A = this chain, B = another copy of it.
Amino acid sequence: MPTIVVDVMPKAELLDPQGKAVAGALARQGETRFSSVRIGKRFELTVDGPVDDATLAAAREIADSILSNSVIEDVVGIEVVE
C-alpha cells in the first residue's frame, strides 16, 4: 500500500536540546566530522487505495494542523513512497 511520508523538523532559529545532546556525545567520542545535529520527526501515513490529489491535499492539511506545531516546527517534506 502507498505511504505518504511527512518530515517535521524544529525551526532553524530554535535551540534543539536533544540534537545538542547527541552532538555533544559525538564530540566526546572524538567524532569531529559532524558540526551539528538536529532531531525531528518522520510520520508514515499508510493510504487506503491510490494516492490522488485530494489525498495529498488532505495529507498536507493534516501535516500542518495535527502532525506539526507551527510555532516551533516546520514541515520540511511530504512525499509518496511505493
Contacts and interface: CB of A to CB of B under 8 A. Distances in A.
Nearest to A36: B46
A48 B27 CA distance: 13
A46 B34 contact: yes
Given A37-B44, A41-B39, A62 B9 contact: no
Given A7-B42, A22-B43, A22-B67, A58 B37 contact: no
Interface string A28-42: 000111111111111
Contact of A62 (B19, B31, B36, B48): B31
A77 to B, nearest CB: 9
A25 to B, nearest CB: 6
